[in-house]
Chain A
Amino acid sequence: MNQLIRTVLAGHARLPVDVTTLDDTADLYEAGMTSHASVNVMLGLEDAFDTEFPDAMLKRSVFASVSAIAEALKSLGVEAP
């Protein structure tokens, strides 16, 4: 799951650093992800995992790190591919 999350981040987070250099708990916003990029990450995750984030989960903390994203996806019932 985390690998696919990283693939989505590489494609949509517009980070100034290589996502492979960030550990699972690294703060993505501090690494350079903007709010606009986080929206595209959210949409990319929905496509990659065939799920949908409800409005209540459209908040900063859900997309703050690879680990946070993984926990959010698991809470939506998404299983590791």
Chain B
Amino acid sequence: MPIQVGIDLVSADTVEAALKTAHGERYLERVYTDRELEDCTTAHGVDPERLAARFAAKEATLKVLPAGDTGLSLRSIEVLRDPTGRVSIGLTGRAAELATSEGFVEFALSLSHEAGMAAAVVVARAPDEPAPT
């Protein structure tokens, strides 16, 4: 199928709670890349809503791949943000392998966060099947 869509919704409260646990630092290290953490850091510190949006993006991507019961690090799915603010998905490691095996050549991402909730939609495109001869 040439187009696949994934969506996920995450509460910023759950992210904030994770940051306050004894494993808060490891939570950041195991889930988010350095670039993601930089994009989520404001003058007031790490923004739980932005982190929640990125977690939602990772989960939405997993639904698209689809990861099934494959073990992979969430850091292998990265939300990239360009200077204009446009976001995209970058894949490495096992996530990249899954995308290649499914024939996906392009991923599009949209994020939204407001009032403590964050959502992400991921669209993956594979080339159309060649017309039968």
Contacts and interface: CB of A to CB of B under 8 A. Distances in A.
A40 interface: yes
Given A43-B30, A55-B73, A36 B23 contact: no
A37 B70 contact: no
Contacts of B23: 40, 43-44, 46-47
B78 interface: no
Interface residues of A, number: 21
Of B23, B55, B69, B93, which is in contact with the most chain A CB atoms at under 10 Å from its CB? B23
A80 B42 CA distance: 43
Interface string A25-58: 0000000001111011001101100000011111
B81 interface: no
A58 B10 contact: no
Contacts of B55: 36
A74 interface: no
Interface of B: 8, 10-11, 14-15, 18, 21-23, 26-27, 30-31, 55, 59, 67, 69-74, 76, 93-94
Given A40-B18, A58-B73, 12 more contacts: A36-B10, A36-B11, A39-B74, A43-B21, A43-B27, A44-B21, A55-B73, A55-B76, A55-B93, A58-B72, A58-B74, A59-B71
